[in-house]
Amino acid sequence: MSPKTDQSALESQLKTWVEHDPDPVTREHLINLLNRSDSLAIEKLFSSRIQFGTAGLRGQLGPGPNRMNQLTVRRLAIGLARYLGAGSKVVLGRDARHKSKDFLEDIAAVMTANDIDVIIFPEVIPTPLLAFSVRHLKTDMGIMVTASHNPSTDNGCKVYMCDGAQLRSPVDEEIDKLILQSEFPSIKLPSGNGTRFTADKSLEEAYCVSITNSLTQQNQNIRIAYTPLHGVAMQLMQKSFLKARAGELIPVKTQMDPDADFPTISFPNPEEHGVMDSVMNLAKASNADLALANDPDGDRLAVAIPTISGKWRLLSGDEIGALLFNHLASKTSGDNRKVVTTIVCSKLVSKIAIKYGVEHATTLTGFKWIIPTAYKDTSFQPIFCYEEALGYATNSAVRDKDGISAALLMAELTAVLKGKGQTLEDELDALSLEYGHHVTKTWRVRFDSGKPSEVIPKVMEGLRNKPLTAINMMKVLEVKDYLSQDNKTGLPSTDLIVINIENNVRISIRPSGTEPMIKLYMEIVLPVAKREELFEASGQAKALLEKLGVSLENQFKEILELN
C-alpha cells in the first residue's frame, strides 16, 4: 500500500468519525485538520486507537480513536452493553475531570438505549464509593469515569464486574472485540427501554458504616493535615472521619475543592516529587500528628510523618504497607487470615506474615490480580492487600484499593501509638530492628519523545537479548525473566525482569500499564543492630539506589542507541 493510499484511508476514517462525533469541538478540530491536509496530525490520531483492557480505557483527551472523547466513550459503552445484554443493571459514577460529566451521560444514554437500567451518582464521587456500590446494589457492572492520578489532559473509564472487583482477562478481550465489531452510533442516540435511576445519599452512609466497623481504637484528638489534591475525596473523607471519630482533618484550603486543572501541583500523583509539599507544610505549621493525601479519585493514600529531628518524612508505599499490615496482624487473630502483595513490593510484609501466622500470597502488579487472588479460596479471610504504588485494601467492603478506609486505619494506628507515647517513626524503626532495614525506591524512566509504544519494547528486548552482568559496577547474581513461560513462579507470563545483585539488592523492571514509562522497583535490606545506626544506613542505602537508577537509565539509552 502506498503512502498516498495510507493517507487516503486515514482521511476516510476521519470523515466517518466526523459524521458520528457528538462533540462540536472535537468535530471542528478534525474538519480543520482535513482542510489543512495535516497528514502528521491525522496519522497521530487515526493510525491507532486506545485499546480497552484490564485497566479499562484511559488516555489523552482529544478527537479521533487514539484519544478520549465522546465517540470513543460511546463505542466503549456499546461494547459493554452488548457484553451485558438487555435487562442488566449498571451503576455509574464520575470524578471532576474535564469531560467526565459528558462521558457519564453518554454511557448512560447508550445503556438505556440498549434496555439496560442505570443508577447514576448525580455528583462527583471517589472511585472506592463506586466500587463499593456495585456489590451493595447487586448490579451487573460498575463504571467509573476517571483517569485516577494521570495528568489533567487525560480521562478514562474504569470498569468493575458484579463481584465488585476490577474487570479482568479474558473478559477485557471479549469486550474489546465487541467494541471493534460495533457500528458507529448516530449523533442522536435512540431511546430504549432502560430506566435511569439516581443514586441517593444512603449509599454514602452505607459505605461509611462498612469501612468504619472494623476500627477499634480511634482517637478523635488526633490532628491530621489532609489534601485531596484538587480531587473528589474531601467530602467522603470528612464524613468517614466524623462518623468514626477518628481525628480532626485540617485541609489544605487551596487544594480541597475539585479542580480539573490541578492548579497548585505539577502532576496529580502524590508519588511525584513536590506534590506533597503543601500538606507537609500545613502539618508542620499546625503541629499535626500526621499528613495524608488522596490522589484525585480517592483510591490511593500517601502519608507523611513527623520525625524526632523536627522535619517531616514522606513514607514510601512499602513503608505504609508494612505499618498498616503489622497493625492489622497484631490486632486480629485466627489461622485463616491472608495478606496479598505484588511481586514488586518489599519483602518486609512476608516476614511480618510469618511472625503472625498469616498466609501470604504474591501476585503480578495491579489490583486486577490482587483481588481475585485474595478471594479465590473462601477458607481464607483477606485482612490486607497492597501494591507499592500507594494502593491499599484494608476492608472487605471494597474489593479494590481504597484511600479513604486506608486513611482511617492509618489514623487509628497513629492514635494507638500516641496512647503509648510512641510515634509512627518509632514503629518503623522497631520493624527495621526486628526484620532488617528494608529501603525501597521507585525510579521512573519516562519516554516523552518518539513513540513510547515502540521504544519501550526495544529497551525490554535489549535487556533480554543481552542480560546485564553489572549495574553501577555491582555484580549481577541472578536475572529472572517473567515473560518466559518457564519462570517457575506459578504466576502468568508478564513483561517483568527481576535482577538480584550483590549486597542484597533486588531490582524489578517493568513497563507501566498506564503511562509511557519503564518503572524500576529497587530494594536493599540492611542488618542493623541499633536504632542509632538507622539514619546513616538509610542515607547510604538511598544514595546507592539513586546511583543504580541513574546507571540503569543510562543503560536503557545505550540499548536504544544500538538499535
**467 grid coordinates:** 542480560
Rg of the Cα atoms in the chain = 24
Q: Which of 290, 308, 298 is nearest to 144 (CA)?
A: 298
Number of other residues whose CB lies within 10 A of the CB of residue 480: 16
User: What is the spatial distance between Cα 443 and Cα 463, in angstroms, rounded to a whole number?
Assistant: 17
| H-helix segments, 169-290 | 171-181, 202-212, 234-244, 277-285
Gap between the Cα atoms of 292 and 304, Å rounded: 6
Give the count of beta carbons closer than 10 Å to the beta carbon of residue 395: 24
Q: Please tell me the distance from the alpha carbon of residue 170 to that of residue 475, in angstroms, as a whole number.
A: 40
Q: Are 24 and 63 in contact (CB under 8 A)?
A: no
With contact defined as beta carbons under 8 Å apart, do 195 and 117 qualify?
yes
CA angle 154, 520, 458 (to 5 degrees): 75
Between strands 497-501 and 505-511, the pairing is antiparallel
Residue (of 440, 449, 439, 410) closest to 520 by Cα position: 440
499 with 476: CB under 8 angstroms? yes
What is the separation of C-alpha 366 from the centre of its chain, rounded to a whole number of angstroms?
A: 8
* 61 φ, ψ (degrees, to nearest 5): -70, 145
| Residues carrying an active site annotation | 148
b/e map 96-120, b = 16+ CB within 10 Å: bbbbbebbbbbbbbbbbbbbbbbbb
Question: Taking each helix axis from N to C terminus, what angle separates 3-20 and 24-36, rounded to the nearest 10 degrees?
Answer: 150
**CA–CA gap between residue 358 and residue 368 (Å, rounded):** 22
Full 3-state SS string of 102-156: HHHHHHHHHHHHCCCEEEECCCCCCHHHHHHHHHHCCCCEEEEECCCCCCCCEEE
Q: In angstroms, rounded to a whole number, what is the distance separating the alpha carbons of residues 3 and 40?
A: 12
